[in-house]
Amino acid sequence: AVTAVMMLDLDGFKQVNDLYGHQAGDRLLRLASGRLSAVVSGTGTIARMGGDEFAIVVPEIEGSERAAELAACILQGFTSPFDIDGNNVHVLASIGVALAPENGTDAESLLLRADQSLYEAKSFGRGRFSMFSEELSTEQQNRSRLERELRLAIDAGQLHLCFQPRYTLSGQALVAVESLLRWRHPTLGTLVPGDFLPLAETTGLTTPIGRWVLKEASAHARLWQDSGLRTRIAVNMSLAQLNQHDIARQVLEALDQAGLGPERFEIEISEPVISAAGPGLVGQLQRIKGLGIHLVLDNFGTGATSLERIKSLPFDRLKIDRRFIRGMQSDPTDWAVVKSAITL
């Protein structure tokens, strides 16, 4: 038998606080604790470590397979929504697992390794668990180093924007310019958002990076406007940004600082983000659109959003994902997606 030490973190807790307030967040923590107790009670001990993290210690468990089964059972308890003041709030959990004596014999090292496993689980997406391994320890050290470097990247001037023009089908008119974030890492070279934004979302860096992109894109668009190029500039917005209660104010501040009119600004939101967004999405989009900003649904066809829901959202246009455009002449399914988008 072994002792399992688990670290559990609620996925999306900050967004609940932002959308519904701290009282709702406190209620969510109490409900989450109740669900944990329902699974672990009688076999282990639960302790809140601060914020939305819980530690779970289960002694005398029959090996790693049983520990994995217990972690999966705990996660299953978070698949149904929480009732927060009449709102169905979907919050999953992530778990990291360390075993004694295999991964350590003292509380400090076991909690550290369970925490390392937790970050590994979160890197896979929401609602996952991960068991500690020595390989994971090395990966976590690399991730921790990258996190420290990312925190310094803005002030060090390592983030920059690339620009991709968007023309009409005839190629005669420039419609907009899309801004694409890049990180010029001093040793790893140029990194695209997929290399570092997932890390930013799990470490609270989404807000400062998002603010930087908004301000930098607005400043470039104003320079172009002063040079006679009057076109819209587009920026991509993540789920973490959309879940910030003051995101509309952040956009307005960036525009005001650059002296740029809202009609020159465009925000792109991918369909998978729409699929994962909570009930506050419509209000957020309406507040942004109310500023006079264009809204674009990006990567259409890659999410699980119904056409009815898409029609109900205040988008000005949509961009069909490139995989369907490439295959529409040879694949009837791809053509069906393109056709439905055109007629939407």
Q: pLDDT for 151-181, tens place per residue?
A: 899 889 999 999 999 888 777 789 899 999 9
Q: What are phi and psi of 184, to 5 degrees?
A: -85, 85
Q: What is the mean pLDDT of residues 110-114?
A: 91
Residue 53 within any structural domain of the chain: yes
Residue 139 within any structural domain of the chain: no
Do 186 and 255 reside in the same domain of the chain? yes
Residue 305 within any structural domain of the chain: yes
pLDDT at position 137 is 64
Do 76 and 207 reside in the same domain of the chain? no
Banded pLDDT at 54 (limits 50, 70, 90): very high
pLDDT at position 172 is 78
pLDDT at position 270 is 87
Cβ neighbour number for residue 190 with a 10 Å cutoff: 11
Do 169 and 313 reside in the same domain of the chain? yes
Residue 231 within any structural domain of the chain: yes
pLDDT at position 136 is 64
More confident residue, 334 or 132: 132
pLDDT tens readout for residues 61-81 = 988 999 999 999 999 999 999
pLDDT tens readout for residues 187-227 = 999 999 988 888 887 777 888 999 999 999 999 999 999 99
Banded pLDDT at 3 (limits 50, 70, 90): very high
Nearest to 202 by CA among 113, 275, 94: 94
Nearest to 147 by CA among 78, 57, 209, 236: 209
Do 225 and 286 reside in the same domain of the chain? yes
pLDDT at position 154 is 87
DSSP character for 246? T
Q: What is the mean pLDDT of residues 141-159?
A: 86
Do 97 and 158 reside in the same domain of the chain? no
Banded pLDDT at 45 (limits 50, 70, 90): very high
Residue 142 within any structural domain of the chain: no
Report the phi/psi class of residue 141: left, alpha or beta, with left for phi > 0 and alpha for psi in -120 to 50.
Answer: alpha
Do 78 and 165 reside in the same domain of the chain? no
CA distance 108 to 300: 47
Query: What sign does the CA torsion over 182, 194, 94, 15 have?
Result: positive
**Residue 75 is part of a domain; what is its CATH number?**
3.30.70.270
pLDDT at position 165 is 92
**Residue 235 is part of a domain; what is its CATH number?**
3.20.20.450
Cis peptide before 272 (omega within 30 of 0): no
pLDDT tens readout for residues 253-299 = 999 999 999 999 999 998 888 877 777 788 889 999 999 999 998 88
Per DSSP, helices labelled H in the chain are 13-20, 22-40, 63-76, 107-123, 134-153, 193-202, 206-226, 239-242, 247-258, 271-276, 281-289, 307-312, 322-327, 332-343
**Quick one: tokens of 315?**
């988008």
Residue 137 within any structural domain of the chain: no
Residue 72 within any structural domain of the chain: yes
Do 182 and 242 reside in the same domain of the chain? yes
Residue 184 within any structural domain of the chain: yes
The domain containing residue 315 runs over which residues?
A: 147-343
Pick from 102, 132, 162: which residue ends a domain? 132
Q: What is the mean pLDDT of residues 320-336?
A: 82
Does the structure show a pLDDT above 70 at 109? yes
Nearest to 132 by CA among 109, 162, 151, 106: 109
pLDDT at position 22 is 87
**What's the domain count of the chain?**
2
pLDDT at position 142 is 76
134 by Cβ neighbours in 10 Å (0-12 / 13-18 / 19+) ranks as exposed
